[in-house]
Structure 1
Amino acid sequence: MITEPAQAPQRILITGGRAPVALEWARLLHRNGHQVYVAESSRYHLCRVSSAVLESFEVPPPRQQPQAYLTALKQLIIQYQIYLLIPTCEEIFYIAEGLEELQSYCRVLTPNINTLHDLHHKGKFIEQVIASHLAVPLTFPVEDPSIDFYDYAMPDQAGNTFVRKPVYSRFASKVIMPWESRRSTAQTKQDTKTTISTTTEITAINNSSESSGWIAQQYIKGKAICTYSIVHQGIVIAHATYTSHYRTSRTGASVYFEAIEHQQAYKWVCQFVQHLSVDDPKQSDEAFSGQISFDFIEEASTGLLYPIECNPRATSGIHLFQQQDVLVQAVIDPDSFVQRGQVIMPEPGTARVLTLPMWVAGFKYNRRRQDWRDWWKSLQQATDVVYHKDDRKPLWEQFRLVIQAYLTSRTQRISITEAFTYDIEWNGKENV
Structure 2
Amino acid sequence: MVTGGKMTKALHVCRHLAAAGWRVVLVETHKYWHVGSRFSSSVASFHTVPVPEDHPEAYVQALLGIAAAEGVTMFIPVSSPIASLYDALAGEALAAQAQAQGRQCRSWSLPAATTALLDHKGSFSAHAAALELLVPQHHVVTSPQQLQQLNSEKALGAGRRFVLKSIAYDSVHRADLMLLPCSAAKLAAYLARPDISITQQCPWILQEYIQGREYSCYSLAHLGRLVAHADTAAALSNLNYKYEGHPAIHQWVEAFVQRTNASGQLCFDFIESAKDGRLYCIECNPRTSSVITEFHDSSQLAAAFASPADVHQTINPLPHSCPIYWWWNEVARLAASPWWYAPTFLSVIGAGVDGVFTPADPWPFIALHYLQVPALLVGNMLRGNPWKKVDLCIGKVAELYGD
Which of the five TM-score ranges fits, normalised by the shorter chain?
Answer: 0.7 to 0.9
1:360 to 317, 329, 332: 332
Q: Partner of 1:22 in structure 2?
A: 10
Per the TM alignment, residue 336 of structure 1 is displaced from its structure 2 partner at its CA by 1.2
Structure 1 unaligned runs (5+)?
1-12, 190-206, 277-286, 426-432
* Alpha-carbon distance in structure 2 between the residues aligned to 1:274 and 1:79: 37
2:60 touches 2:93 (CA, 8 Å); kept in 1? no
Residues 314 and 100 from structure 1, CA distance in 2 versus in 1: closer, same or farther, beyond 3 angstroms? closer
Per the TM alignment, residue 349 of structure 1 is displaced from its structure 2 partner at its CA by 5.0
- How many equivalent pairs are there? 374
2:385 touches 2:399 (CA, 8 Å); kept in 1? no
* Alpha-carbon distance in structure 1 between the residues aligned to 2:288 and 2:147: 34
Residues 177 and 349 from structure 1, CA distance in 2 versus in 1: closer, same or farther, beyond 3 angstroms? farther
Q: Judging by fraction of residues, say which structure has more helix.
A: 2
2:206 to 216, 220, 231: 216
Q: SS in structure 2 opposite 1:160?
A: coil
* Alpha-carbon distance in structure 2 between the residues aligned to 1:95 and 1:70: 8
Q: Partner of 1:136 in structure 2?
A: 135
Per the TM alignment, residue 358 of structure 1 is displaced from its structure 2 partner at its CA by 3.3
1:405 touches 1:420 (CA, 8 Å); kept in 2? no
1:403 to 374, 383, 397: 374
Q: Partner of 1:344 in structure 2?
A: 315
1:255 to 190, 214, 239: 239
Per the TM alignment, residue 72 of structure 1 is displaced from its structure 2 partner at its CA by 1.5
1:237 touches 1:342 (CA, 8 Å); kept in 2? yes
Residues 228 and 100 from structure 1, CA distance in 2 versus in 1: closer, same or farther, beyond 3 angstroms? closer
* Alpha-carbon distance in structure 1 between the residues aligned to 2:140 and 2:90: 30
Q: Partner of 1:62 in structure 2?
A: 52
* Alpha-carbon distance in structure 2 between the residues aligned to 1:21 and 1:154: 44
Corresponding letter in the other structure for 1:59: V
Q: SS in structure 2 opposite 1:413?
A: coil
2:86 to 80, 90, 94: 94
1:166 touches 1:175 (CA, 8 Å); kept in 2? no
* Alpha-carbon distance in structure 1 between the residues aligned to 2:54 and 2:295: 34
Q: Partner of 1:392 in structure 2?
A: 362
Residues 298 and 60 from structure 1, CA distance in 2 versus in 1: closer, same or farther, beyond 3 angstroms? same
Deviates more, 1:109-118 or 1:86-95: 86-95
* Alpha-carbon distance in structure 2 between the residues aligned to 1:24 and 1:262: 23
Corresponding letter in the other structure for 2:169: S
Per the TM alignment, residue 148 of structure 1 is displaced from its structure 2 partner at its CA by 4.9
1:152 touches 1:162 (CA, 8 Å); kept in 2? no
* Alpha-carbon distance in structure 2 between the residues aligned to 1:349 and 1:185: 49
Corresponding letter in the other structure for 2:249: A
Deviates more, 1:352-361 or 1:28-37: 352-361
* Alpha-carbon distance in structure 1 between the residues aligned to 2:87 and 2:182: 45
Q: Partner of 2:216 in structure 1?
A: 226
Deviations 1:195-241 (A, max 9, x none): xxxxxxxxxxxx9833x111111111100111111100111011112
Q: Partner of 1:289 in structure 2?
A: 263
Per the TM alignment, residue 362 of structure 1 is displaced from its structure 2 partner at its CA by 4.7
Deviates more, 1:42-51 or 1:16-25: 42-51
* Alpha-carbon distance in structure 2 between the residues aligned to 1:187 and 1:265: 39
1:111 touches 1:288 (CA, 8 Å); kept in 2? yes
Per the TM alignment, residue 407 of structure 1 is displaced from its structure 2 partner at its CA by 3.9
Q: SS in structure 2 opposite 1:168?
A: coil
Deviations 1:160-182 (A, max 9, x none): 22211101115574343146x8x
Per the TM alignment, residue 157 of structure 1 is displaced from its structure 2 partner at its CA by 4.5
Per the TM alignment, residue 145 of structure 1 is displaced from its structure 2 partner at its CA by 6.5
Per the TM alignment, residue 324 of structure 1 is displaced from its structure 2 partner at its CA by 1.4
Q: Partner of 1:204 in structure 2?
A: none
Q: Partner of 2:164 in structure 1?
A: 164
Corresponding letter in the other structure for 2:290: S
Corresponding letter in the other structure for 2:318: E
Deviates more, 1:126-135 or 1:352-361: 352-361
* Alpha-carbon distance in structure 1 between the residues aligned to 2:399 and 2:56: 15
1:409 touches 1:416 (CA, 8 Å); kept in 2? no
Q: SS in structure 1 opposite 2:330?
A: helix
Q: State the Cα RMSD in Å.
A: 3.2
2:218 touches 2:229 (CA, 8 Å); kept in 1? yes
Per the TM alignment, residue 420 of structure 1 is displaced from its structure 2 partner at its CA by 5.7
Deviations 1:339-374 (A, max 9, x none): xx311111345311122233334555x58x454322
1:38 touches 1:57 (CA, 8 Å); kept in 2? yes
Per the TM alignment, residue 184 of structure 1 is displaced from its structure 2 partner at its CA by 7.5
Q: Partner of 1:196 in structure 2?
A: none
Deviations 1:6-64 (A, max 9, x none): xxxxxxx1111101000001111111111111111121113211111111112222222
State, as a whole percentage, how many aligned pairs show the same letter: 27
Corresponding letter in the other structure for 1:132: L
* Alpha-carbon distance in structure 2 between the residues aligned to 1:322 and 1:45: 20
* Alpha-carbon distance in structure 2 between the residues aligned to 1:235 and 1:329: 15
Corresponding letter in the other structure for 1:14: V
Corresponding letter in the other structure for 2:296: Q
* Alpha-carbon distance in structure 2 between the residues aligned to 1:147 and 1:208: 10
Corresponding letter in the other structure for 2:244: I
Corresponding letter in the other structure for 2:22: H
Q: Partner of 2:387 in structure 1?
A: 415
